């Protein structure tokens, strides 16, 4: 598809939502200010950090002196396994249903000052292995397992220690439910997974690809809402984390290293984002319409200190962007795969 330099809308086939694209407003925003945000010099260990090894947390529990990844039940969990049963399905205006589940915190590394971009591929492979083992355990009891990371204060993360979260519940979340419905509809019509066809299309066009290897494809999706949004998709018929073999986990760690390094290098900062995985529902069905994928939603627009605000029109109408996905992908591709901190320390 030829790039369009006039206002137009693009549809997200995964959830059916539209985004307004206005490229004439700001064709090359990464040529603007690129001042770096203030970044404190973090230590490798912080005695008052509740995520560091061998530190006592707020509830009185102490972390083990862990050396790789560490997972524990969130001390302030948003979901509880024993929430009382409640339902008001007959009330059309004020419906309520029980939400039972669990919420866990996953420390990626014992080192307080590291991010995914600064970890080695073997260390990231351990992260991927832990994601898989957590998914395999939780999918025995819950239909929806949400693995995600909020990185940076701008994304509401108050703790810089590298970590993510894993929430699991019986109900399908709104986003997963929408993606399940639209992927199933596409499969019914075409007898092919939606994301399988999308991967093939992106490989043919080459304009929105940021990173790729034999097992994974990372693109700024055609329908991206956030300026430097990335969709990371499995290239093989992989529907959830339980399907990954050893080689696919290693290649996933490798492409995660490259994606997060390019992000950090774009504006020379600890690039913030919310990232999360969408697995097929763990409902005992075949789910042949699904393909395992992750979404990266970063807020930065022009520099380390200038963000995209989803307000006004975005809140009341639909998502809107000025920078086209094609140009965003090009900007990310042009960045180095050597982390800027490594370059500055030479």
Q: Which domains are seen in the chain, by residue range?
A: 41-85+93-344 (3.30.428.10)
Q: Please give the model's pTM, rounded to 2 decimal places.
A: 0.94
- pLDDT value, residue 105: 97
Tens-place pLDDT, residues 189-227:
999 999 999 999 999 999 999 999 999 999 999 999 999
More confident position, 337 or 84: 337
One DSSP character per residue, 232-299 reads: EEESSS--SGGG--HHHHHHHHHHHHHHHHHHHHHTTS---EEEEEEPPP-SSS--TT---EEEEE--
Would you place residue 344 in the very low, low, confident or very high pLDDT band (cuts 50, 70, 90)?
low
Q: Is 293 annotated as a binding residue?
A: yes
Q: What share of the chain is helix, strand, coil (3-state, %, to 5)?
A: 30, 20, 50
- pLDDT value, residue 42: 92
Q: Is 161 annotated as a binding residue?
A: yes
What is d(CA 37, CA 113) in angstroms, rounded to the nearest whole number?
Answer: 16
- pLDDT value, residue 85: 86
What is d(CA 31, CA 33) in angstroms, rounded to the nearest whole number?
Answer: 7
Q: 263: which 2 tokens?
A: 């992000």
Residue 303 backbone dihedrals phi, psi, to 5 degrees: -160, -175
Q: Is 278 annotated as a binding residue?
A: yes
Q: 279: which 2 tokens?
A: 């697995």
What is d(CA 319, CA 59) in angstroms, rounded to the nearest whole number?
Answer: 40
- Nearest CA to 329 out of 154, 210, 216 is that of 210
- pLDDT value, residue 30: 47
Q: What is the mean pLDDT of the chain?
A: 93
Q: Which of 163, 169, 289, 339 is catalytic?
A: 163
Our answer to whether residue 24 is catalytic in this structure is: no
Segment 294-306 mean pLDDT: 93
Q: Is 31 annotated as a binding residue?
A: no
Q: What strands lie across the sheet with 319-321, from one edge to the other?
A: 8-11, 18-21, 319-321
Segment 230-254 mean pLDDT: 98
More confident position, 126 or 154: 126
Q: Is 112 annotated as a binding residue?
A: yes
Would you place residue 29 in the very low, low, confident or very high pLDDT band (cuts 50, 70, 90)?
very low
């Amino acid at each position: 598809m030829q790039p369009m330099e006039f206002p137009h809308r693009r549809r997200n086939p995964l959830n059916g939502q539209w985004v307004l694209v206005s490229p004439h407003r700001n064709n090359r925003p990464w040529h603007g200010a690129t001042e770096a945000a203030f970044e404190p010099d973090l230590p490798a260990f912080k005695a008052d950090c509740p995520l560091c090894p061998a530190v006592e947390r707020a509830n009185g529990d102490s972390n083990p002196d862990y050396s790789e990844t560490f997972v524990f039940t969130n001390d302030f969990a948003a979901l509880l396994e024993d929430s009382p049963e409640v339902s008001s399905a007959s009330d059309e205006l004020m419906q309520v249903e029980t939400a039972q589940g669990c919420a866990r915190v996953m420390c990626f590394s014992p080192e307080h000052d590291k991010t995914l971009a600064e970890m080695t591929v073997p260390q990231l492979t351990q992260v991927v292995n832990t994601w898989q083992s957590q998914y395999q355990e939780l999918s025995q009891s819950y239909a929806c397992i949400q693995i995600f990371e909020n990185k940076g204060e701008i994304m509401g993360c108050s703790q810089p220690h590298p970590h993510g979260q894993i929430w699991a519940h019986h109900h399908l979340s709104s986003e997963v439910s929408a993606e399940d419905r639209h992927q199933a509809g596409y499969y019914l019509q075409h007898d092919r997974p939606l994301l399988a066809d999308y991967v093939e299309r992106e490989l043919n066009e080459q304009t929105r690809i940021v990173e790729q290897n034999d097992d994974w494809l990372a693109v700024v999706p055609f329908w991206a809402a956030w300026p430097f949004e990335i969709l990371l998709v499995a290239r093989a018929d992989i529907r959830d984390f339980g399907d990954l073999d050893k080689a696919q986990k290693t290649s996933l760690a490798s492409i995660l290293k490259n994606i997060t390094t390019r992000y950090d290098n774009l504006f020379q900062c600890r690039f913030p984002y919310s990232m999360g995985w969408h697995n097929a529902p763990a409902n005992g069905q075949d789910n042949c319409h699904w393909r395992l994928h992750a979404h990266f939603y970063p807020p930065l627009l022009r520099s380390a200190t200038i963000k995209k605000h989803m307000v006004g029109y975005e809140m009341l109408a639909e998502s809107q962007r000025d920078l086209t996905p094609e140009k965003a992908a090009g900007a990310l591709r042009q960045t180095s795969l050597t982390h800027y901190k490594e370059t500055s320390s030479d």
